[in-house]
Structure 1
Amino acid sequence: MKKQKRTTIYDIAKKLNLNASSVSRALSNNSNVSEATRQLILATAKELNYQQNSMASNLRKGQNQTIGVIVPHINQNFFADIIAGLEEVTYQKGYNLVICQSNESYLREIKCVNTLINQHVSCIAISICADFEDDSHLRNIKEHGIPLIQFDRVTDTLDTFKVLNDNEQASMEAVSHMIEQGYKRIALLEGPQNLNIFRQRKEGYLKALKKHNYPLVPELIKENAWTKELGAESTRQLLSLPEPPDAIFASTSDFSALGVLEVATKKGLKVPEELGICGYSNEPFTEITSPSITTIDQYSVSMGKAIANLYFQEIDFMDNGSHPQTVSIKPQLIVRSSTLRNKNRV
């Protein structure tokens, strides 16, 4: 079936034997067009099923009511909720979202940035990918005069608006909770240390150990265990130690924590009695696993709303040389069955 050609202002102008500029003015409610001519053009536009190309119109006006968003993964609840929070605010303001996924690829992230720049978006919000190398493509955004907001995963080499979680404090609270539940050897599954969020979560883990006079045991820290599969493999290695851990803090994600739980279940370990498990992000499945998984709620919808509000309320300050604002959102420890070894101490 042949695709029907989209109707343009030139088609309307040809049918009415008018100039395209006259049609354009009428469709824009320009007062220089008589009411009779305007009504004729509107009727013809309806007859021909004309749909205005809003992007082209906005470009002619030098504006585009669209915000570009770049996330590492669209299919993770954390990022999906951020997008939902953003959309709730932008919709009320008459703005649209263009969503791009880097899939943890630096080269793909650069392509996403270039695509959004070429679309003349009003603002770009980004959470950087795992193999982030340098900020040249982010500087390119600013050089094009497009406001930039970093969120969750950010680079500190660039002074921009940021929306962050207090990852260090949240991790410290999680590890302290496990210590208070009587766990003695708490392992850490950490993510790539080139990303700010995983450095902060590790720092919170270390501070909790120090606060409670627990020794730092290097063999209990596993690097880059940030997927379900890597979390499971790290757990197998940890449980094979002469002195295995009695608790594991999967600071990378709940998916990693799920990998821990699956290995523990296959080995016949009782959770939380023999092994405590804590994840990060409060993915929906953590409520329905057996046992349910203790985790950290990052209030991702609120983070999305904060990103949008920064653009609509604060972004003009970027033009006067003032220091861009950083918004910090406090996460919450959600205690569930996987760490409740001592139910009298919650």
Structure 2
Amino acid sequence: MKAKKRTTIYDIAEKLNITASSVSRALNNSSHVNEETKKLVLKTAAELNYKRNILASNLRKGESKTIGIVVPRINQNIFSNVIAGIEETTYSKDYNLIICQSNESHEKEVKSVNALINQHVDCIVISVAAEGSDYSHLQNVIDHGIKLIQFDRVADDLETLKVLNDNHQASLEGITHMIEQGYKRIALLEGPQNLDIFRQRKQGYLEALKLHNLPIINELIIENAWTKELGADATRKLLNLPKPPDAIFASTSDFSALGVLEVATSMGIKVPSELGILGYSNEPFTELTSPSITTIDQFSHYMGKTIANLYFQESENKESPIVPRTISVKPKLIIRASTSRRSYK
């Protein structure tokens, strides 16, 4: 079946025997068109089922009223909540969102960013993938005059607007809590160290151990254990050591912490009396596991609203160049059963 041809202002003009420019002015409620003509144009447009091309109209005004978002995984709590926070703020201003996920692939991230550039979005909001260290595609965004806001995972050397958590402080507080609960051999499941957020979380872990005069034991630090499966593999390795840890900080995500909990349960290790578990991100399931998982809330919905408001603030100052700056959102330690060792003695 042949698709029906889209009605244009030229179709309306032809039916009314007037110019297309007159139709355009009438549809835009111009004072240069009399009321009778406006009513006739609107009536005919409705009869012909005319739909305005909002994107083309906005582009003529120098904007698309569209924001592109690129995240590693849409189904992770931080990223879905950031998107929700952005949408909540942009909806009231008639902005549209185009959402892409990289699935942690640098190649897919580059393709998504280039596609958004070609769609003339006004702004690109991104949290970079774990893969890759070449961020020339993000410089390309800036070179095209498109606003760029990075959040959570960022290209450190690229000077842009950034919205971040204080990952160092959050980890420091989390490990301090575990030490106060009596844990002494605390293992770390770390994320890819090419990303600043995971370096900061590791630094917070190391600082907490030093502040409490606990030794840094290299065999208790496992690289790139940042998924549920990798977290589980790392936990098996740790718990089979001659001197296993009495606590594990899954600094990468709660999914990794879930892998820790499942392995501990399968091995008959009691949580939290024999093993403490600390995750990161406050995924909804952390309240529902048995025991519930202590985690760190990143206030991701608030981060999303902060990102959107930052964009609109910058948009109001069209004549002034964007001054790169970083806005920090303080995370919060959520203490649950998986580290509440004192109450279980």
TM-score (norm 2): 0.96
The letter for the 1-side match of 2:140 is: N
Cα distance in 1, alignment partners of residues 110 and 305 from structure 2: 25
1:64 Cα deviation from its structure 2 partner: 1.4
2:233 is matched with which residue? Answer: 233
1:28 Cα deviation from its structure 2 partner: 1.2
1:1-346 paired onto structure 2 within 5 Å:
1-314=1-314, 320=320, 323-343=323-343
Cα distance in 1, alignment partners of residues 294 and 68 from structure 2: 33
Cα distance in 1, alignment partners of residues 199 and 299 from structure 2: 20
Counterparts in 2 of 1:319 and 1:325: CA distance versus 1, 3 Å: farther
Cα distance in 1, alignment partners of residues 123 and 246 from structure 2: 47
Cα distance in 2, alignment partners of residues 61 and 24 from structure 1: 14
For 1:197-223, what per-residue CA distance to the aligned partner results, in whole angstroms no more than 9, with x for missing partners? 100000000000001000000000000
Q: Is the 8 A contact 1:183 1:276 kept in 2?
A: yes
Q: Is the 8 A contact 2:70 2:102 kept in 1?
A: yes
Q: Is the 8 A contact 1:125 1:151 kept in 2?
A: yes
1:11 Cα deviation from its structure 2 partner: 2.0
Cα distance in 2, alignment partners of residues 248 and 274 from structure 1: 11
Cα distance in 1, alignment partners of residues 319 and 246 from structure 2: 53
Q: Is the 8 A contact 1:317 1:324 kept in 2?
A: no
Secondary structure at the counterpart of residue 125 of structure 1: strand
Choose 60-69 or 303-312, whichever is displaced more.
60-69
Cα distance in 2, alignment partners of residues 126 and 78 from structure 1: 13
Q: Is the 8 A contact 1:135 1:157 kept in 2?
A: no
Cα distance in 2, alignment partners of residues 333 and 49 from structure 1: 55
Choose 1-10 or 147-156, whichever is displaced more.
1-10
Aligned length: 345
Cα distance in 2, alignment partners of residues 36 and 58 from structure 1: 27
Q: Is the 8 A contact 2:314 2:322 kept in 1?
A: no
Cα distance in 1, alignment partners of residues 117 and 223 from structure 2: 35
Q: Is the 8 A contact 2:189 2:231 kept in 1?
A: yes
Q: Is the 8 A contact 1:318 1:324 kept in 2?
A: no
Q: Is the 8 A contact 1:188 1:222 kept in 2?
A: yes
Cα distance in 1, alignment partners of residues 206 and 321 from structure 2: 37
TM-score (norm 1): 0.96
1:318 Cα deviation from its structure 2 partner: 8.7
Secondary structure at the counterpart of residue 162 of structure 2: strand
Q: Percent identity, aligned pairs only?
A: 69
For 1:131-152, what per-residue CA distance to the aligned partner results, in whole angstroms no more than 9, with x for missing partners? 1321211111111111111100
Counterparts in 2 of 1:89 and 1:148: CA distance versus 1, 3 Å: same
1:255 Cα deviation from its structure 2 partner: 0.3
1:321 Cα deviation from its structure 2 partner: 5.3
For 1:30-58, what per-residue CA distance to the aligned partner results, in whole angstroms no more than 9, with x for missing partners? 22222211111100111111111100111
Cα distance in 2, alignment partners of residues 118 and 78 from structure 1: 27
Cα distance in 1, alignment partners of residues 180 and 197 from structure 2: 25
Cα distance in 1, alignment partners of residues 3 and 318 from structure 2: 45
Counterparts in 2 of 1:210 and 1:334: CA distance versus 1, 3 Å: same
1:101 Cα deviation from its structure 2 partner: 1.1
Secondary structure at the counterpart of residue 343 of structure 1: helix
Q: Is the 8 A contact 2:272 2:341 kept in 1?
A: yes
Secondary structure at the counterpart of residue 199 of structure 1: helix
1:116 Cα deviation from its structure 2 partner: 1.3
Q: Is the 8 A contact 1:10 1:20 kept in 2?
A: yes
Q: Is the 8 A contact 2:232 2:259 kept in 1?
A: yes
Secondary structure at the counterpart of residue 191 of structure 2: coil
Query: Can you give the 5+ residue segments of structure 1 that lack an aligned partner in the other structure?
Result: none
Cα distance in 2, alignment partners of residues 36 and 314 from structure 1: 41
Choose 62-71 or 213-222, whichever is displaced more.
62-71
Cα distance in 2, alignment partners of residues 64 and 134 from structure 1: 28
Secondary structure at the counterpart of residue 342 of structure 2: coil
Counterparts in 2 of 1:271 and 1:318: CA distance versus 1, 3 Å: farther
Secondary structure at the counterpart of residue 188 of structure 2: strand
Counterparts in 2 of 1:338 and 1:195: CA distance versus 1, 3 Å: same
Choose 199-208 or 30-39, whichever is displaced more.
30-39
1:302 Cα deviation from its structure 2 partner: 0.5
Secondary structure at the counterpart of residue 112 of structure 1: helix
